[in-house]
């Protein structure tokens, strides 16, 4: 498992925009998930959205239950 470089991420996330940072406030920075931060920094590729074929496959694999209560059968 790779370690997260929090110091480096904080420098970029909290750094001034004119210096190449994102200019986030500490509250904004800590509300981000690591994936959101990676996307904002342009690291890695964003996953493609689910298309109709994948949605139908998921619906077939995990059908909604009809047990009542409106909680999807949970």
Taking a C-beta distance cutoff of 8 angstroms, is the pair 34, 27 a contact?
Answer: no
Average pLDDT, the chain: 82
Does residue 2 surpass a pLDDT of 70?
yes
Write out pLDDT tens, residues 44-69: 765 677 889 989 999 999 998 765 55
pTM > 0.75: no
Helix H, strand E, coil C: the string for 24-57 is CCHHHHHHCCHHHHHHHHCCCCCCCCCCHHHHHH
């Amino acid at each position: 498992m790779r370690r997260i470089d929090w110091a480096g991420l904080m420098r970029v996330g909290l750094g001034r925009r004119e210096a190449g940072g994102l200019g986030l406030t500490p509250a904004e920075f800590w509300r981000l998930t690591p994936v959101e931060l990676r996307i904002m920094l342009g690291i890695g590729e964003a996953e493609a959205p689910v298309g109709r074929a994948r949605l139908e496959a998921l619906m077939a694999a995990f059908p909604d239950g009809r047990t009542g209560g409106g909680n999807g059968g949970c």
